[in-house]
Amino acid sequence: MGRMGQRKGGGGPPGGAPVAARPISVKLVVEVLRGVAQVDFMPSAVCGLFFVAALFAAGRQYGLYGLLGSAVSTAVAYGLGLRRDTVEAGLTGYNGCLVALGCAVFLGPGHPATVVVAVLGAAVAVVVTAGLGALLEGRGLPALTAPFCLVATAVTAAAPGFRRLWHEGPGPAALPVPTAGGTGLSWEQLWHGFFANIGQIFFLPQGYVGLLFLAGLFAAGRLAGLMACVGSATGLLTAWAFGAPAEAVGQGLLGYSGVLVVLALCGVFVAPGGWSAAYAALGAASATVLTPALGAITAPFGGHAFTWPFVLTTMLFLAAVPVIPRLRRV
């Protein structure tokens, strides 16, 4: 994580309420953008701008829902009085961003009930994040995207029981992993899958969208961009080597958790280096293999593994770091 700036105080001139309001509004916009960027661990508003541009490139509804989720979670975190430095870093907004996007993809973005569930889910995600953080803090483990996974799994499991929530025709990013099909990757599926692995973190399979996300990571830092490439390539090669259906590989449905795993284990929570990069790549391969298994478990309510493979793999690999001499926690 980057170094967070200190909040500056100071009074304005008499009757200067509009002048004072402007910095506050800008500050809130920056925090919301950081909340979007923190999906990939980046505390950077510039990275957040790239990410929001990628969401809008995929569809206006995705951009609006992503911003809505981050904004609601940020506002709720302030309302609950959570630590200000945590909120300012965007660490309370990223799970809400993912929850809202998940609602748009799986429930349909054009329905009023979807907006309500997205707002409620983003608010609940703040509480779940705080609760998991308290439980895991003593073990030195972060909550990661587990709050999003818990809320999204609950929503998708419950949605078929509510007529105003469940609609036919989920979005393109909700495609389940195929159980049949060829395993030979074409050149188009290869390059498309490389970028789709990065975009599917946000449920978006378009190659140009993944490219924008990757540009945002490079804007935040060269190491982040390079590690995202390593994670995507590892997930792609692992899925192909084990004979995953080419359609699933090309759509990024198997490799997205690997991208997050590598970012987490080489640079964010573990000091970067050759050994940590190899360790992170091993974790990415493990998460890729785990993805179809978790998809099968969740088959009764959509079959999407969300980022559970990333969460489970990263927590186990992080728990092992203190007993591995060649690795060092950040």
Q: Are the C-beta atoms of residues 212 and 62 closer than 8 Å to each other?
A: no
Q: Are the C-beta atoms of residues 30 and 57 closer than 8 Å to each other?
A: no
Bridge partners for 243 per DSSP: none
Instruction: Report the percentage of the chain scoring pLDDT > 90.
Output: 75
Q: What is the pTM of this model?
A: 0.89
Instruction: Report the percentage of the chain scoring pLDDT > 70.
Output: 86
Name the least confident of 17-21, 108-112, 228-232, 272-276: 17-21
- Whether residue 6 has pLDDT greater than 60: no
Average pLDDT over residues 299-323: 90
Domains of the chain: 25-170 (1.10.3430.10), 175-330 (1.10.3430.10)
Average pLDDT over residues 309-315: 98
pLDDT of residue 302: 66
- Whether residue 95 has pLDDT greater than 60: yes
Q: Are the C-beta atoms of residues 31 and 88 closer than 8 Å to each other?
A: yes
Average pLDDT over residues 238-259: 94
Give the Cα separation of 48 and 2 in Å (integer). Answer: 14
Average pLDDT over residues 297-310: 82
What is the number of alpha carbons within 13 Å of residue 66 lying toward its C-beta? 27
- Whether residue 5 has pLDDT greater than 50: no
Q: What is the pLDDT of residues 120-172, one digit of tens each?
A: 999 999 999 999 999 998 899 999 999 999 999 999 888 877 877 766 544 43
- Whether residue 177 has pLDDT greater than 60: no
Give the Cα separation of 39 and 34 in Å (integer). Answer: 9
Give the Cα separation of 46 and 33 in Å (integer). Answer: 8
Give the Cα separation of 216 and 27 in Å (integer). Answer: 20
Give the Cα separation of 190 and 20 in Å (integer). Answer: 51
- Whether residue 17 has pLDDT greater than 50: no
pLDDT of residue 297: 82
What's the pLDDT band for 178 if we cut at 50, 70, 90? very low
Average pLDDT over residues 96-119: 94
